[in-house]
Every structure is written in structure tokens, then in C-alpha cells.
Structure 1
Amino acid sequence: MAPLLGAGDPQDELPSGSVDEYVDALKSSPRLGSQVVYHRILSGREPEFAQPVRPWPRAVENLLAARSIPALYAHQVHATDLIRAGRHVVVATPTASGKTLVYNLPVLERFLHDPDARALYMFPLKALAQDQLKAFNELTSSWPESARPRAAIYDGDVSDYARRKIRENPPHALLTNPEMLHLALLPYHEKWSTFLAGLSFVVVDEVHTYRGVMGSHMAQVFRRLNRVAARFGASPTFIFCSATVANPGELAQSLTGHDVATITESGAPQGKRHFVFLDPLEGAAHAAIMLLKSALARNLRTIVYCQSRKLTELVSLWAQDKAGPYKDRISAYRAGFLPEERREIEARMTSGELLAVISTSALELGIDIGALDLCILVGYPGTIMSTLQRGGRVGRSLKESAVVLVAQEDALDQYFMRHPEDFFERPPESAVLNPYNEVLLARHLDCAAAELPLTEGEPWLQVPEVRQVAAAMEAEGRLLRSKEGDRILSRRKQPHREVDLRGAGASYRIEALPDGKSVGLVDEHRAFRETHKGAVYLHRGKTYLVKELDLGARTVTVTPARVDYYTRVRGSKNTEILEVYDYGKVWGTRIFRGKLRVTEFVTGYEKRKVKGGTLMTIVPLDLPPMVFETEGVWIEIPTSVQRLAEDQFYHFMGGIHALEHAMIGILPLIVMTDRNDLGGISTPMHPQVGLPAVFVYDAAPGGVGLTRLAFAKAEELMERTLDVVASCPCDLGCPSCVHSPKCGSGNRPIDKAAALFLLGALQDAPPPEIGPQYLPQLPDQKEETSIDGVAVTADIPKAQLRYAVLDVETQLSAQEVGGWHKAKDMRVSCCVVYYSDTDEYVAYREDELPAMFDRLQELDLIIGFNILRFDYAVLGPYAGGLDLHSLPTLDMLQEVRRRLGYRLSLDALGAATLDAQKTADGLQALAWWKEGRLDEIIEYCTKDVELTRDLYLHGREHGYLLFTNKAKQTVRLPVEW
């Protein structure tokens, strides 16, 4: 058997061969054979067919006959029977099991019965929509053109003209993506009335991708879709298609709130497949290049999956450099490429022009790139589901295929290298999301209220978590109640563009100098870590240096560069426990689940040599902290265990730090995620816990449900963590057990032996006492009452509150003094104050102001409209040593602006709330001053004070004021004073 090619051995090129021969050559290779730790052959499977309960219409049977399909697989029949009966269904079967027919056949049948029926097809990637449009048109190509249902893609690549035509005459099947549903259909539902009134099916392909942050967003998008569809009398059937996950029904139900029938047994055939686990000595990327080169020499069509954009680009560069005559038949592929770049690569792969593609997870989904023979995984993808999904890209034509998992130093990679049988024996992970993530839910409630006013009786608002968030938003002024109080509206016309469905923050555009050409996008959280000033950024084999990260403009400026180093951020973080949701015991300690506030600081970045990873230097950075609230779990380290470790001279901080890393590294065995979706903090003394503690949390604002499952499976988490640390052959700790690639402190201090000791001690410790008395010290939940940052005495009854309402008129205009910022030079013509304790209005001329200042200092509250920025600025020169801003003050204008995000005039509030308006304006008062008509100024000023007082009293009594928004609706503005 010919040996496998080694890098740099072009003279040893092998002739073309089969997959079986390739695997034999790998196992017998002098260079890599000894590094193969496991080989399993998954035997093929014969198809299982079935017949539907109700026969298909003749036209549908003819479609199947035209495609030489005599019968459907059993799972296809089961699913279509349910769909035809109006049931929501999720089909979670392996790649290439015929899921496309599961949704296309019922959709086509409905069109035959009802020409007005419509279907919405949802795909997470534009390329998937292109594939499915082709499949839909091919399926119906034999029907007469006059009877053929129309299908069209509606995404960001469609021209404005074409989009308008689609809206005006919507197709029977509209193929789109989450962003277009969120941004283009739901906000403009009136323009889609024909389509939405006939909406019969919603097809959601690759639904397993809707987990974590994306899933939490989509749970709200689908609920918004149901609201809008109901507005037009439609109640569509949902059809979900998924890769193999542990909880497809639960996932689909969380996304929609519907009961969903689940189908997981596949009747599709499958070819023979090799699984090879390789633990390389010289690094995963180096081994992958050797494997790829040998596959190319055998003419095996290959896909190589890498774990990051950076590694994808590096492997592509190295592979092309060593591929000889195959150099032009290899390409990188990843998210962040421009649409035209991706489609060119897909077309070249489908046509066979490319023999190999090196990709991130962007090609994990069912994009058709032709029949493939070999899948090389550079690192464990993080989940069994993803591994099977990526491996399912090969051998689709029932040919023999192979999947080679090349281990990196990551904890999960090494876990499966030491326990390969566990990969095949354990079930797939659960896909988790949090449909009631408070941060994301608030954004979608805002969007929903802008689409259609929310009403008290609608089902969505009956959910306690939704009601709670909606009430908080109303109190903050983010949602506004109608004058009658029966409808809730958004304060903005279209808040949709501020919601990024694929992240918790906004996207940053990456622009390359000198011409400003776009070279990709990066989300806000990754922008701080990957595109800070000085970072090395890779795109399509080209290296760039980041020149500027503009947080305000959300842009990253890069310039081409050739460097021999890469960058990695450093930082620190702390956490505060805000609420405890649940608690229990695991081994000999207590475990908690709750709400946390995490503050992360990016303090600098490392420059490390590409070869060997040697640290060159550390460069400081000055970036604002990232503060967010999330969900997490934490375990205490009992004092007795800490003393045992310290008595044995273990490095205690290094031990709990290593324990934190090991827990995060192994958690993806339990929940479908990767360590980048998680964060952790270990502290030798947490002030709220009163003990050392190790925290693991969801690394997304609001939390996405990852650590909920960790709490439920705490025993398994601890056992797996102990196994990972104990079975790793290293002496001092490594990336396979206790090192983290994203540790902000550079994995210092880390003590593997201490972590192992602590785990053993926790396992042997006596069961702890549990109960409410052991809860951590939570922050005082009593809200401090403050107005514009000035503390106000909160326990004074309203009836006893001594307040004043103040307004100032001036002698000079802003124009005369050089602008509003020079208000201190405008001089006072008069000041009128209403005193609640005497129920009187007092007018003060310029020379009488000292007496006014003396009295103001005796009161509990000073009220005005723009008082902080204007009235106090004008009065400042007269106040002597008194700092007016130290007085307890309510500025009603600033309170309105804080809640609404924009200003309203006193006149507008008075007209809507009290049907009262100002009697004059500031310009008229200035004219009166020049004419010496001070009495008229005082009368006008008194009326303004009266109007301000009455608005204050109305808000105090009713909890809201009224105003007319841009849509000419009179709505309530909630106030708290």
C-alpha cells in the first residue's frame, strides 16, 4: 500500500484511488499511521418505503414519476401525512434524507386546491434559498406554465425594482431569510396583504441553526409573524427541518409556542462511511494539509472544515503553497465573504472546477456543492450534531465516503481521542434557546408594537415573562399606551434596523484602505476582540492590520500588510449576582443558577509569532468596558476544601482557574454550543457568596439557556470535568484540559494538579447543607429615587412634599449673547415661582433673586421645564456660592427626553394632556422687555409656571402625560415623580 504523501514530497504523488484505498493508505502511512487512534466503518442502510394514508393527487404523483421516485421513504410519508392534516411538524433526520420533498409536496398539493394559498420558505443562508428555488422549479417544470406555481427569492441581493414587483404580485412560494422577514415583510405587512392573507405554510429549513442568540431572536420573530398573519385571517402550518439533535420537538415548540409533532427515524438509504480519528503530533493544520494533498492526488473531491475564520485562511494559504499543480483548484470559503465571492466558489465546486474547499461552518448546511468523497475536520466542530452534519456532506450519492477528525489541543478534541467510542454511543446534544431573554424580547416587543398595536387580550401578552418585560418597557417610555389605555404602541415608527438577529449587538463594517472597499462584517462583541486597533485580520488569504475601530460609526478600517505574527486580546472581568433562580447540591458543595451582571475589560493584546506561538510583546488598549446581564451557574468551594488544598501547598487560585476552564471546555458535551458562547470567572473570595466560587455563564446579554441545562446536569458536568483533567497525559496543564484559547489573563495562574486535587476533594466532601439561609448576599433591590442624578427623599408622602415650580425669562436672546451655550450672559428679566406649601405664585425681579435662593434651599423639590440646562444656567451668575444643581430638582423636559429619546415642547404636552396651551412665547417676552412691559412678562411667566405645575400634578396623580406622536396618535407618556 502506497504511503500517504507528506508535505514537501511532490515527487511521491499517488495515482487516483478509492476512498477505501485512501483510508488504508492513511492507516499504513509512516508519517501519520501511528497517529490514527480510531477507525470505525458505518455500514450502509437499505431504504424503507411507505404509502400515504391518502393518495396524492394525480398531478403530484406525476411529479414523482417524472423524477423516477416510485415511492417515498417512510419518514417522508409520516411527515407529509401530518402536514396534510394541518399539524405542525419537525423532521430531524440525517443530511441527504429527502427533507425537501417533505415540505414541497404538501405545499404543491395545497396550491392545486387553492390557487390563493401562499407559502413562506425560510433559510438561514442566501445560498440555500438559491438551491431550493432551483429544486422547486425543477420539481414543477413538467406542469403547464399556466398552472405552474410561481416561486421567487426575496433577499438583500434582489434589486429594488424586482422587490417591488414581488410585493405587488407575490409568488405562491416566497423564499427568504430571517433578516428579510424581520426587516422587509413584518414592518410593511400592509403591502404584503395578498401574500399574508393566503399564508398557509411556513417552511423553516435547518432549524437547528436557530439556537442560542439567533434562536432567541427567531422565537420572537415567529411570534410576530403569527400576530401579523392573524391580522389578515391566516394561521399557517409550520414545517421544520433539522439535523439530528436531541430535542427537535422542544426546539420547534420554543420557537413558535405551538405543539409540534416530531419525526426522527429516517427511512433513507445510506452508503458505507469511514470515520477516522487522528491525533497529530505536528499540529492539526499541518496534518490536514498532508491529508488534503494526498486526497487531491487521488482526485478525491474534498471539503476541509476549520474552526475559525483565521484558521480557514491560514490552512488555505499553506495548502495552496504546497499543493503544486492543484493550487488553483483550492479555495477558502467562510461567512464574511461578499455574496458574489461565495456564489462563485459554490459554482466552481459544483461544476468540479474546484477539487477542494476549505471552509468554516458556513458550508455546514445543505448548500449544494456537488458530490464529495472526503471530509476533513480540522478540530472537533464542538458538537456531535455538527460533526454528523459536516460529515453528511460527503457520500451523498451513496458512494463510499470518509470523515477524518483531526484533533486539536482543545479539551473536547482530546476527550474523544481518548474516548472515541463515546462519540458513537452518546446521543446528540440538545439545542437550547431562551424565548424570554429579556434583552432580546424587549427589542421585539418594540418591533411588534410598531407593526400592530399590542392589546391586553392577545395571547402573546398573556405569558408572564412577556407581560413583565412589556410593563417595564412601558414604565421606561419605550412602549406607549394609547390615550384610552387599551392599546400599546412603540414610541418609534420603525425600530427594526436596530435589531441584529445574529447577535446581541450591532454589526461593524470592515473597510480596507486606500479605497474603503468592504472586506466583510464583524459583530459588536467580536469587534472588541478581533478588530481592535493593531489587530491582525485575515480575509481570503490576505492579511490586514486594523488601523482604527470607530465605535460611533461602527466601522473598522484596515490596511493590507505582511506580518509574521497574530494577535490575541487580554483583559479582565468581574461579576455580580443579581438574582438566584435555583439552587441545589453537587458532590460536596452547593450549586446555584441565577442572573448575573458581567463587566468585561479588554486591556490590551498580545503579538505572537505564527511559528511556535512565541510571545513578542503586549500592547495596551483603551476600550470602554462591556457590561451586560446574563444567566449563569456557580459552585462554591467550601472553606474546608480550600484549607486542604493550601495545607498541601497547592496554588489555590491556579486550581479554581483551571477548574473554570475545564468546566467550560467540557460543557459542549452536554449542550449544543462551543466555548466561545460561554464565559467564566473564578474568584478566591466572592463578596456576595462569602466563599471562593467558580462561575460559568452565557456569554450573551440576557442569557440564551445554555447554563440552565448545565445546572440540570451538574453531576454529569462535574464527572466529565474530572475525567478530562485526570486523563490528560500532560504534567502542568495544556489546551487539552485546563488552558483556554480565549483566557484574558493568558492562562495565568493555572495549576492542573490543584484543580485535580480540588475536584477530588469536592467529590469526597460530605453533602452540604442547602436552603435559603445559604443564598448569596444580593444587592438591595429597593430602588433609589433620583431625578436627573440628584437624589430625592422618597419616603415623604405626596401631600407633605414641599415643592416649587420655577420659570425664568431673560433680558437678552441667545442670538444676542452668541448662542444657547452662553445662557449665563442672558440676564434675568423676571423669575416666577409657585410654592406648594403656601399655594402662591411669587415673582422675583433681578435684584430680588437672593431671597428666592434662600427659600429654594428649604424645599424638598424644585420643578421646571428645561430647568437644568437653561433656567439654572441663567440664574447661575446670581447664585453666589450656591450650586443650583445640588438642589433636589425635577427637570420635566429631561425626563421626557430620557424616556422618549427626543424632546417635546411644554405647549405640546399641555395641549394633549390638559387641553391648555402657552399664552405667548420667549420672543414675545423679549420684545416686552425692550418695551418696559415687565408686568406682561410676569403674567406670561406665571401662566407657564401654572401649566408646568398642572402637568406635574397630572403626572403625579395618573402616572402619565399625553402627547401626539408622529403618527398623529394621542398616547400616554409614563412618568414617575
Structure 2
Amino acid sequence: MDRNGTISEYIQSLVASPRMAGEVVYHTALDPVPARMVRKPDWGVPEAACLSAILATEGLYAHQADAIGRVLSGENVVAATPTASGKTLIYNIPVLQRLKENPSARALYLYPLKALARDQLRALQETAGAAGMAEAVSAAIYDGDTTAWHRKKIRDNPPSVLMTNPDMLHLGLLPYHETWHTFFANLAFVVIDEIHTYRGVMGSHMAHVFRRLYRVCTHHGAAPLFVAGSATIANPEELAGQLTGRPTTAVTKSGAPRGKRHVVFMNPVTGPVATTIQLLRAALYRGLRTIVYTQSRKLAELISIWAEKKSPHAHQISSYRAGFLPDERREIERKLSAGELLAVISTSALELGIDIGDLDLCLLVGYPGSVMATWQRGGRVGRAGQESAMILIAGEDALDQYFMRNPGAFLSLPPEAAVINPDNPAIVEKHLVCAAAEHRLRVDEPFLQGAAMQRAVATLEKKGELLRSADGMYLFASRKRPHREVDLRGAGRSFKVICDQTGDHIGDIDGMRVFRDAHPGAVYLHMGQTHVVKNLDVGAMRVIVSRQPVNYYTKPRSTKDTEILETFQTKQVAGITVCTGRLRVTETITGYEKWRLYGKRRVSVEPLDLPPLVFETQGVWLAIPDRIQDAAESEYRHFMGGIHAIEHAVIGVLPIFVMCDRNDLGGISMTFHPQVGTPVIFIYDAVAGGIGLSRQAYEKVAEILGFTRNLISQCPCKTGCPACVHSPKCGSGNRPIDKACALYLLEQMARPPAAGARSRTRRAAAPVLQPARTIPPPVRTGDVRFGVFDIETQRSAAEVGGWHRADRMGISCVVLYDSATDTYDAFLENQVAAFIRRLSDFDLVVGFNNKRFDNQVLAGYSDADLSRLPTLDILEEVHKTLGYRLSLDSLAEITLGAKKSANGLQALIWWQQGEIDKIVEYCKKDVQITKDLYLYGKINGYLLFRNKAKQQVRLPVDW
């Protein structure tokens, strides 16, 4: 079939169609772009020049020659050029050149998806073969699908090029770097493909993974170069530098050719899904190989269901999304590449350069959310240079409709910047513990510098997850392998989705989304089949679903509250005060709506009783002066509806300014916030800890508000719609919303306040934001009188039937230390009542395992409620911090250089022999050790112990 003729005929038929031509609002054809070639690159390395001649008989693209030359001269390089521009050669040639010079050198190739690694392995093997180096270059994939036997073989004899993914680097290489010594000691290159995908939460994680990687390399004596490939983004050099922590040079001017490409914008009358299905069926009829991109997993599944219905090509259509199991995704990739599938309906999961063959047509169901993503997805077609087409089918969202009204604006927009936040405290803490487990941290090493790192170190020491050496110079992890507790793709935890009929694990869902998308009663779609959530087990992190052919889908309803924890920056923007800082967000899913699958009519609203989701994040907020509210209400405008509409509209337009999806953001508007004292609109990162989106919004807030005002004013609707002020994820069903009031407020906010304007006195005079709670410093009123005691028993646990029967063990003696008199008093069995009365004299009662043991022994002699005493159990505090227990003897030996004089077994023998004096002396020694441990910890803030790796480390205490 002549694809070139077919795609032209397809577009011509579309723009001339009596039924669909009216939906086409824009059509242009981007002219072919010729290649810019470099025939004989001058790299100053004769062997490399020879190698390039072998690899590219017609030369190299200009950007390839430039980037390769920079790498060969020792620069870290990121190449940010369009899809199918030959970025693979930019790292393969320098790697092959280095291997030619030094066969012992090694390279690490990192891909965000397993399928990419398989594609690139073939490409490297072909390139090495063309260079006559097939026998000299070994390469292997090391990922979750590699068998245990092959993994060991690879570890024992590392290949020249090791291909892996972020998860395996984090879980399989860095924790076991000592067994990879040969590889890391000779590592010359770290190749990062598709580096633009490392943004947001995952990018914030990867910034620490790459720093840990470089730290491990340094430990083994290597200093590798980083070579990265990226889609076209605004800040490739900045992103690569933030991720790797190394200075990086960007090569951005592409020399690759491009075939003729049609760009069509359609504004459907009956909705984007119906139009997409018509376009897809027409493409399938013509045999066009098509990819359809949707904005959500749910929509990908729904379009697949609807497209297959009554279609003769049903067997040639498949959905593809994250959440599918690896074998499912791999089979779809294979069929698509082999031509067995003509169409795939995908989320962003197929946005990357996986080899799925030469496609002709790209259908975008809704604006992808960024200029970068739009061209990246469109670049999946026409890769062989053939004529191709990209059709954007608008949804109801604000940006979709904005581009339908201003189609030329899209083609003139530059790509956005990729944003990460390596200082996210939740992420920093997790990776600090991993780094310490890999190799002890020296407190003055570069890895630990920076305020975020220092805050995390202090927090982790208090938690006992980092342990300081006795001399204070090193930090050790309290656990040997903390890596599996870190999810690189989320700031929280992941839940498994289990089918109750089969018991199969059919997918995963992030903990931040589970209450919204997998609550009881929610419809969960998988492989074109509908499932209903039967149970959400938060403790076990499992979602139990039942496969049911229901004819509806669900939308959650929620309420939110926002608390200001810290203000980073404040500025005046025209008539309002704008702040950015740290927030605590509480969201409660209160119910869900059922909507008909066909017809899109709401069926019912069902209540839910779920625990709230509470997380801390970063946000930006607009404090609106009382004078603006007063003016609006004096004209009988719906003020709450107005600020609610502005909140939705701002979130809708933010992807123009920051590379994100509107689902990456959350918001709440309030007519009065007690911490601010005025009405407030909050916009925040919908990720625990924040990912830097709101901080970028803060810098551009004047521009964002101006764009928002224009977008709302251009929308032809009268009262508000999804194209301007409605949100598809609004927890209150877009009520109340007032478009006219939103425009009025935006106009008022853009005007500086008149001279002498004042706020109403019943509110705060100015929105100076303070943390919600402050903790006053402790007030000391004098020395605390404390007592320390220990008990020896007459019988062992075995004699009375177990430790849970300690009340039957009997007391041989009790020794009590009194800090007021600095004396030790001994009590025998007939004096226990007097001893118990003495305990009430103290401000603090100190012991070692006194809560779980000594108090239980005393319970056999008295009904007194000893749990009401102000008690410090040192063993309990140790367990809280470390998660395991230490003996009194081990703590005393390392902290005090002292040892117990005997043990409990010897004390039992002495009791049987009637040698009570020896028991008292032994007991007194234990009390003295316990007292000294307490005082040491009180003075120094830590105790010392020997951890499982036999290192002397500090155990932080706070008493």
C-alpha cells in the first residue's frame, strides 16, 4: 500500500468531508526539512573520524557531529533534539571509541523503560558490527526480567556496556556496588536516554540516584562522563545539571531531516471521543498505522472498548497504558512493530522511543498538556521520512479550547521547562539513608552540603535512621538495605490491584491516587474490561476488584482544607499579595458519582466514609484584599463562585507556563482563611513534598493571571464551561462557579490599590503569613528529681510459665537510686510496699525494660497503677528509635566503658543459695549503669552502641 498517497488522501477527505469538515478549525502542512550534514567531523581523534566514516557513509547530522566532538573532548553533554534525529549515535560513537582505546572501559546505559533497552541493545550491536568491533564489544541487559543465573554471570564478568533502568540501578546495582567493583572502577560513561522524562516526582528521585551513582563511582576511583538524550525542552542544560550534579553542555540545534507533516486541529461537535473513533475507523479502513494518545488510563480503555464495538478491525486494536503488567505491554509492542496491530490507544506510556515500527497517523485526544509532549507524541509518526499527520482533537478543557480559538499560537509557542525539586524533604530523607547504607557518609563530604541535606540529616538522626559515629565524623544507615522502601515514581506508596475471582495481580495504583480512583464502588478499567472495587485495604495496601460488565463509570467527590506551615517568599502583584511556601493539605473523599458509559448522564451520587489523605507540599497563594470582595458583593456578585472559577482557570492554564499536567496540581479557594485574614486562592503541587511547579508559578504569576483573564474573556459561553472555568476533577461538581464574577475580580486584582485604601478592621490588617503552629522552647524550672530502680527475681520465666507471668516470679530485692540524696537504697521482698510508695516522690522514674518487665513483677505485690508514673524506659526508647532492642550490657560497654558485674541467671543461683548480699550488690551495679546511661544521654543527646556492621555509632536520645 502506498502510504504517502494514503495519508494525503486521508487528510484531503477529512477537510472535504460534509460531516466532519465543520469540525476542522485549522490545517497546515509543515514543509519537509532537509538534513544539515557534516561529512568529515574534525574531532582531533583520527580513530574516531575513521569510525564515523564507517558508521555513516554520508556523514553525520550537524548536531551529532557537534555533540560527539564535545563528548570526546571530555564534556558532559545533553542532546535535546526532536524524535528520530539520531541521538543514539551521539553516545554510541564515543563509547566505541573509548573501548577501542581501552578495552577495560565500561559504560552504563540507562533507559526509563525496559523495552527501550531491548531496542538500543540491537542498535549498539549493529553499530559495533558496522565499525568492525562486534567481537570486541560485549553488551547485556540487566533488569527485572534477567534471570538469576544471568545476573550472576553479568556481575562476575561485567560487559563493556551494561543496559538497565532506574529501578535496577537503585535496587540492584548501587546497594551491591562492592560486588560490582570491576564495573564501577572502570566506568567511563553514564548514558541517560530520554532524560526529559526525569521530571516531577521521578526526576526529583533520580537527581539523588545519579548523585549516589557518582558517589559510588568516586569511591571506586572512577569519574564517568554523563551523556544524555532529551526531547526538545526549554532547559535541557539546567535539567541535566540538576539531575547529575555535574556541569553539562546542551546541543539543541537539530541537523536531522523531517518529512512533510500535516497538522490538523479539530473542535468536535459531539465530543472528542466520538470524533476520535470516526477518525480511527477511517484510518483503519485505509490501512494507516495509527497511534491514539489519551490523557488518562480510563479514557484509553474506554476508547478501545468503543472503537472495537462492531468494528471489522477489532482484533487489530489494543489499548496500552501504565499499570499493565510487563508481559502484556511487551506483547502489544511486538504486535505493533510486526504490523499485526494497526492501531494502539495509549497514554503517555508510548510517548518514548520504543520501536513500534513506522506509523502514519497520530491522534491526540485532548491537548497533551505541554508543547514538548505534543511534538514528542507527534514525532512517533513519519519516523522513516514518509508523509504523516498529527491531529489534535480538542476536549472541553481550557487550553484545548484556547488553541482552537488561537491555533497559530500553538505553533509559535516554545517548549516548556522541565521542573524537578531535589529538595523535596520526603525524597531527600529516603535517598540519604540509601546513600549511607551504600557507603558511610562523611559529614563534610560534598554530597551532604546544602540546607535541605542538613535538615534531612538532623531529622533522620532523631528518627534513628542515620547513626553518627562515636567521633561525630561519619553517618551510618541503621538498616542494611533500605532501598526497597523507596518508590522512584511516587512520593508515597503503591497499592496492588487484585481480581477477587482469579486472585491475579492485574495492576498497581499510587497511594496518592488510591482514595480518588480506587475507593469502594469505583469502576476500575483494565484491558478493556470493567471491574468494580469491592474493598480498599489500606493496611495491606491492596485493592480488591471484581470483574463486572457495568454500563457506568465513576467520579469522586471530595472536600479539602489547607494549612500554611511556612512562607518562603511574598510579593505584591498589582492589587493582591502573592506568597509561596509550604502547606499541609487535607483531602477527604466524601462520595462518588455514577455516570452512564454511553450518553454521559449522571445516574446517582453515593456516599463514602474514608479516612482523610493528609500531606505536606509546596504551593502558591493569592491573598485578595477585602476591598475587592466588598466591591464585588456590593454589586451582588457571587464572590465565592468568582474565586472558585479563578482557581480552576489558573490550574487549567498553568501547563502553558510549567511542564505539567493539570492533575499534577491541586487547588482550593476560601472566602476567609484564618491565617491570612482575607480571601485566598491556593494552588499547590499535588505531590507530597512538592515538585517545584508552584514555585515556578510564583515567578510568573502576573503573566499567568493576565493569560487567565484573556482565556476566560475569549470563551463564548455565558456562565462558565469546561473551556474556561470548569474543572473535570472538581470535588464539588463545579459548584458554585461564576464566570462573570471571575472576570470582574481578575480586572480588580490587576489594579494597584488606591492611595489610602484600608481593609476592614474585623479582619487581619495585612496578609502576613505565619506558620499554623509554633512550638515554644522548653522552659527549665530547676533540677528534676529522678529515681532509677531495678528488680531481681526469685524465679525464672521458665519456672512460672513464661515472661507473660512475670507477676508470679517473686522479688528477691529492689535497688532504688534517689538523685536528690545521691544514695542507693535496697528493698527486700517484705519491703516492696514501702518501695512503691517511694516512687511517687520522683519527677521521673527511670529504668531499663521497667515498663514491660519490672512493673509487671511489681503487679504481683500491689494494685497500684504504675503506668501513671512519669516513666522513662531506656530500652523502650532504644526500640522506638532503632526498631530493635539492645542489652544493657552492650550499651554500657560502648557508652560508658563499663560492664555488668553478673547476669540474671547468676542472681537466681545466688537466691537459691541464700546469698542475698551478692544479689543486692549486683542489682546496685545495674542501677548505677542505668543511671549513668540516663545522665550521659541527657547531657550529650545520644548514647553509643555497636551496630550490626560492628561500627561504634551514636543513638540519638531526647530526655
- Distance change >3 Å, CA 281–CA 883, structure 1 → 2: farther
1: distance between equivalents of 2:839 and 2:642?
A: 60
1: distance between equivalents of 2:903 and 2:781?
A: 35
- Tell whether the 8 Å contact from 2:77 to 2:250 is kept in structure 1 after alignment: yes
Cα distance, 1:484 vs. partner? 2.9
Q: How does 1:498-897 map to 2 (within 5 A)?
A: 498-766=485-753, 774-782=767-775, 794-796=779-781, 800-810=783-793, 820=803, 830-845=813-828, 848=831, 851-852=834-835, 854-875=837-858, 884-897=866-879
Q: Aligned residue for 1:971?
A: 953
Q: How does 1:100-115 map to 2 (within 5 A)?
A: 100-115=88-103
Cα distance, 1:724 vs. partner? 2.6
Q: Aligned residue for 1:163?
A: 151
Residue 228 of structure 2 aligns with an amino acid whose one-letter code is F
Query: What's the RMSD between the two structures over aligned residues?
Result: 2.6
Is 2:368 the partner of 1:407?
A: no
1: distance between equivalents of 2:344 and 2:828?
A: 82
2: distance between equivalents of 1:150 and 1:60?
A: 22
- Tell whether the 8 Å contact from 1:63 to 1:139 is kept in structure 2 after alignment: no
2: distance between equivalents of 1:870 and 1:30?
A: 87
- Distance change >3 Å, CA 418–CA 194, structure 1 → 2: same
SS at match of 2:309: helix
Cα distance, 1:341 vs. partner? 1.8
2: distance between equivalents of 1:837 and 1:961?
A: 24
- Distance change >3 Å, CA 784–CA 871, structure 1 → 2: farther
- Tell whether the 8 Å contact from 2:658 to 2:696 is kept in structure 1 after alignment: yes
Q: How does 1:91-490 map to 2 (within 5 A)?
A: 91-142=79-130, 147-324=135-312, 326-490=313-477
- Tell whether the 8 Å contact from 1:90 to 1:242 is kept in structure 2 after alignment: yes
CA deviation map 1:775-799 (0-9, x unaligned)? 21324443676xxxxxxxx4245xx
Unaligned 5+ residue runs, structure 2? none
SS at match of 1:582: strand
2: distance between equivalents of 1:422 and 1:415?
A: 9
2: distance between equivalents of 1:817 and 1:752?
A: 77
Is 2:911 the partner of 1:948?
A: no
Q: Which moved more, 1:545-554 or 1:383-392?
A: 545-554
Cα distance, 1:430 vs. partner? 0.8
Cα distance, 1:930 vs. partner? 6.7
2:41 to 42, 48, 52: 52
Residue 956 of structure 1 aligns with an amino acid whose one-letter code is K
CA deviation map 1:607-660 (0-9, x unaligned)? 222233333333343433322221111111211111122222233223222222
- Distance change >3 Å, CA 585–CA 827, structure 1 → 2: farther
Cα distance, 1:510 vs. partner? 2.0
SS at match of 2:90: helix
- Tell whether the 8 Å contact from 2:848 to 2:874 is kept in structure 1 after alignment: yes
SS at match of 1:585: strand
Unaligned 5+ residue runs, structure 1? 1-13, 786-793
Cα distance, 1:956 vs. partner? 1.8
Cα distance, 1:423 vs. partner? 1.0
Cα distance, 1:518 vs. partner? 2.1
SS at match of 2:750: helix
Q: Which moved more, 1:569-578 or 1:775-784?
A: 775-784
Residue 255 of structure 1 aligns with an amino acid whose one-letter code is L
TM-score normalised by structure 1 residue count: 0.93
Cα distance, 1:62 vs. partner? 5.5
- Tell whether the 8 Å contact from 1:15 to 1:298 is kept in structure 2 after alignment: no
Q: Aligned residue for 1:8?
A: none
- Tell whether the 8 Å contact from 2:191 to 2:227 is kept in structure 1 after alignment: yes
- Distance change >3 Å, CA 906–CA 206, structure 1 → 2: same
TM-score normalised by structure 2 residue count: 0.95
CA deviation map 1:751-794 (0-9, x unaligned)? 33332222222123517999997521324443676xxxxxxxx4
Q: Which moved more, 1:239-248 or 1:471-480?
A: 471-480
1: distance between equivalents of 2:812 and 2:493?
A: 49
- Tell whether the 8 Å contact from 1:17 to 1:298 is kept in structure 2 after alignment: no
Q: Aligned residue for 1:915?
A: 897
- Distance change >3 Å, CA 943–CA 647, structure 1 → 2: same
1: distance between equivalents of 2:503 and 2:862?
A: 53
SS at match of 1:262: strand
CA deviation map 1:175-198 (0-9, x unaligned)? 110001101111111111111111
Residue 866 of structure 1 aligns with an amino acid whose one-letter code is N
SS at match of 2:581: strand
- Distance change >3 Å, CA 233–CA 925, structure 1 → 2: same
Residue 258 of structure 1 aligns with an amino acid whose one-letter code is R
2: distance between equivalents of 1:72 and 1:754?
A: 58
Cα distance, 1:133 vs. partner? 0.4
- Tell whether the 8 Å contact from 2:627 to 2:758 is kept in structure 1 after alignment: no
CA deviation map 1:286-336 (0-9, x unaligned)? 110000011111221111011111111111111111422x22111111122
1: distance between equivalents of 2:269 and 2:841?
A: 79
CA deviation map 1:455-495 (0-9, x unaligned)? 12321123332223223322332111122322211000010
2: distance between equivalents of 1:255 and 1:948?
A: 48
2: distance between equivalents of 1:875 and 1:369?
A: 74
2: distance between equivalents of 1:887 and 1:409?
A: 64
**Aligned pairs, number:** 951
Cα distance, 1:537 vs. partner? 1.1
- Tell whether the 8 Å contact from 1:57 to 1:109 is kept in structure 2 after alignment: no
Q: Which moved more, 1:809-818 or 1:181-190?
A: 809-818
- Distance change >3 Å, CA 82–CA 871, structure 1 → 2: same
1: distance between equivalents of 2:138 and 2:567?
A: 53
2: distance between equivalents of 1:590 and 1:280?
A: 40
Residue 295 of structure 2 aligns with an amino acid whose one-letter code is Q
2: distance between equivalents of 1:535 and 1:818?
A: 51
2: distance between equivalents of 1:677 and 1:822?
A: 55
Cα distance, 1:837 vs. partner? 1.0
1: distance between equivalents of 2:954 and 2:119?
A: 49
CA deviation map 1:661-680 (0-9, x unaligned)? 22111111111111111111
Q: Aligned residue for 1:904?
A: 886
SS at match of 1:718: helix
Cα distance, 1:529 vs. partner? 2.1
- Tell whether the 8 Å contact from 1:37 to 1:278 is kept in structure 2 after alignment: yes
2: distance between equivalents of 1:820 and 1:415?
A: 72
Q: Which moved more, 1:548-557 or 1:289-298?
A: 548-557
- Distance change >3 Å, CA 679–CA 853, structure 1 → 2: farther
1: distance between equivalents of 2:780 and 2:876?
A: 23
> Percent of counterpart pairs with the same letter?
55
Cα distance, 1:892 vs. partner? 1.5
Residue 43 of structure 2 aligns with an amino acid whose one-letter code is R
Cα distance, 1:827 vs. partner? 6.1
